[in-house]
Amino acid sequence: MGLIRLLLVAALIWLVWRVVRQTLLGATREGAAPQDQTPQSQKMVRCDWCQVHTPEAQTVRLEERHFCSEDHRQQWLEKHHD
Ligand SMILES: [Zn+2]
């Protein structure tokens, strides 16, 4: 009985080790992949009108400028188009 218990404990440790290792490897891969593949969704840009930081995906763009809303884009255009 002693040997079987030892084998069972060894098998259990091996299984736990495999699960832990896969979880750690999977976590680092999943943690790194979205940042590498979609850097724009995480990037914060500053509104050229009110200076508020907004995720780039939610901004209104005007060439290289970013605005937090269409309103602020219009206001910026009015100010810079005379
Ligand atoms: Zn703004």
DSSP string, 17-65: HHHHHHHHHHHHHHHHHHHHH-HHHH-EEE-TTT--EEEGGGSEEETTE
Between the CA atoms of 40, 75, 51 and 57, what dihedral angle is there, to the nearest 10 degrees?
Answer: -10
What's the pLDDT band for 29 if we cut at 50, 70, 90? low
Ligand 1 centroid vs 35 CA: distance in angstroms?
Answer: 26
- Asked whether the predicted pLDDT for residue 28 surpasses 90, the reply is no
Give ion ligand 1 contacts, CB < 5 A: 47, 49-50, 68, 72
- CA 68, 73, 76, 78 dihedral sign is negative
Considering 2-6, 20-24, 51-55, the range whose residues carry the highest mean pLDDT is 51-55
Res 26: pLDDT? 85
